[in-house]
Amino acid sequence: MTAFGGQAMRVAIVGSASSGKTTLAQALALRYESVWVPEYLREFVETRGRVPVEADQLHIAQTQAAREDLAAARAGRFVFCDTTPLMTAVYSRHYFGRIDDALAQLAASRRYDVTFACAPDIPWQPDGLQREPEDQSAAVNTILTAELISRGIAHVRIHGPLEQRMAQVEAVLGR
C-alpha cells in the first residue's frame, strides 16, 4: 500500500459525533508511531464559546485541511485524520440543509489513501457545546453513507469496542 506522491499515507476517520473517531485516531498514532490530526471543530467551539453557524463551515474545513497538510509533513508512515472536510460538509447538509459550493469543492479536492467510517455503536454522550443535545447519529450516518457512495469514496466500516476497531484497521493497514 503506497501513499499519494510517496508521502505519509493519509488515513481518514469519519463518523458521527461520539462514534469514537478521536479515541481511534489517538490509539492508531501510538500503535503506528506516527501522528494524528485532532478535530479542529472542538478547538473552534472551545475558543469561541459557541457552536458554528453556516458561515463558519468553510473556515472549519479549511483549517482542518491545513492542519492535515502540516501533520503529513512530519508524519512517519501514516497520518491519522480525526475527521475530514467531508464531515464538515455532512454536518452542513444535516444542520443547514445544504453544502456551500466552496465547501463542496474543498471536500471533493481532498484525497485519502484509506477511509474508515466509524459505526455509531459506542454509547452516545453529550459533550457540552461541541455535541448535539440529543443523539443525531442515525441521521448523520445516513447523510455520510450517501456522500461516501455518491462521491465514489471507498471506505471500510468499522465497529465495536476500541480493540476490535484496532484489529479491523490493522487488517487493512498491516502491522
- What averages of pLDDT result for each successive group of 10 residues across the chain (175 residues)? 65 92 96 96 93 96 97 92 96 95 97 95 68 72 95 96 96 92
Place of cell 487493512: 172
**How far is the C-alpha of 96 from the C-alpha of 91, rounded, in Å?**
8
Answer whether 98's CB lies under 8 Å from 58's CB: no
Give pLDDT, residue 144.
95
At 106, list the grid cell: 474543498
Q: What is the pLDDT of residue 85?
A: 97
Question: Residue 162 sits in a domain of what CATH number?
Answer: 3.40.50.300
Residue 133 is predicted with a pLDDT of 52
Half-sphere exposure of 62 (CA within 13 A, CB side): 9
Write down the H helix ranges in 33-129.
40-48, 57-74, 85-96, 101-109
The pLDDT assigned to 128 comes to 60
Residue 60 and residue 41 in contact, taking contact as beta carbons nearer than 8 Å? yes
pLDDT of residue 7: 81
- pLDDT of amino acid 127: 64
Q: Which domain holds residue 148?
A: 4-173
pLDDT of residue 146: 95
Report the side by side order of strands in the sheet with 35-37: 35-37, 78-82, 9-14, 114-118, 156-158
- The domain total for the chain is 1
pLDDT tens-place string over residues 96-139: 999 999 999 999 999 999 999 999 888 766 666 555 555 788 89
C-alpha torsion sign, points 47, 49, 130, 51:
negative
Q: Which of 84, 54, 55 is nearest to 144 (CA)?
A: 84
Identity of residue 119:
A
Residues 6+ apart with CB under 8 A from 115: 11, 12, 14, 148, 153, 154, 155, 156
